[in-house]
Each structure stands twice: as C-alpha cells, then as structure tokens.
Amino acid sequence: MIALDDTDRAIVRALSADMTTSAGALGRQLGLSQPACWRRIKRLREAGVFRAARLDVDAAALGFGVTVFLGVKLAAKGQVSLEDFERAVTAIPEVQTVEHVLGAYDYRLRVVARDISDFERVLRRRVLTLPGVGNIDANVLLSEERRPGPL
C-alpha cells in the first residue's frame, strides 16, 4: 500500500477523470514543476494505483442501448470446473465485466446488447450454454453514476 499526500490525491483524482492529462498541464494546475509532477505520477503508476485506462464512450450512441447485470449461480459445484466457466464467460464479447463473488450468486456479469431481443440472443446462445450454469438472475440497468471515491 502506498501513502498519499494531498497533492498525490489531487493527481489521482485528475488522472482518474482524464488519463491523458500531461504532467506539465497537471503540474501547472497544482503548482508543481513538470518534472516534480512527472515523478509523482511515475511513483503512483509504479505502485499500481491505476489498474487500467478505460475509453469512456456513449454506448447508446454506438447502438448499444441495453445493459443487463446477470447474477449467475453454478449448477453443481465440485463437478464443474471454475476455470472452464471463467475461460468461456470472459471470451464472450458482449460480456463487459466478470466478477467472482461470494453470496447469493457465484459470478456477476455486466452484459451489453443492442436491444432487448439482441440481449435475448446473447442470453440464450452464449450465457445459458456456458458450462455449469445454474440459476440466473437478470436486472436491466436504468441509470448509472460513478463517484470519485474516498480520496
């Protein structure tokens, strides 16, 4: 774990909003020289503070109007290979995220589709045919908000 001061926190906040911000521009906002800001960014990156850069696009404008969260329970635990299920589910292009969870479900999937009938196609042909799938619970996303988090 890496310790952050207020300046580091401001840098993390700024880069989480726009990863393409240059060290020079960010330094000017925060009253740091370009090299000083660059060194801080390098330290944060090397400590693994950023998992990845994500392209933020308007999915609906690109024709993907439906997002559904699926809770998946595996049918017979012990008899199905988690690796087989995980390999197959992460390979589905419409499945955007896969999380292994503990609780009422084993996996949580975020699935994107063009419309409800396209979602039905993905569900029937790709998800329900996965090895070991048991119970599935679906919730259609209406709105989504991402918060900055405790920085």
Partner 1 sequence: MLDDTDRRILRYYQSDPESASADLAERAGVTTSTLARRLERLRDKGILRGVRGVIHWPALGYEVAVSLRVTLDKTQARAFDEFLDAARDVPEVLEIQTFLGQVDVRLSVIARDMGHYQQLYRERLLTLPHIADIEALMHVAQLKTQESLPL
User: Which residues form the interface with partner 1 (CB under 8 A)?
Assistant: 1-2, 4, 12, 15-20, 47-59, 61-62, 64, 69, 71, 86, 89-90, 93-105, 108, 110, 112, 137-147, 149-150
Q: How far is the CB of 143 from partner 1 (least distance, A)?
A: 5
Nearer to partner 1, 12 or 23 (CB): 12
Q: How far is the CB of 25 from partner 1 (least distance, A)?
A: 14
Residues 6+ apart with CB under 8 A from 17: none
Opening angle at CA 82, ends 76 and 88, nearest 5: 110
CB of 97 to partner 1, least distance (A): 6
Residue 144 burial by CB count (10 A; 0-12/13-18/19+): exposed, middle or buried? exposed
Nearer to partner 1, 31 or 48 (CB): 48
CB atoms closer than 10 angstroms to residue 47: 13
Task: Output 31 or 51, the one with its CB closest to partner 1.
Answer: 51
Closest CA to 70 of 139, 146, 1: 139
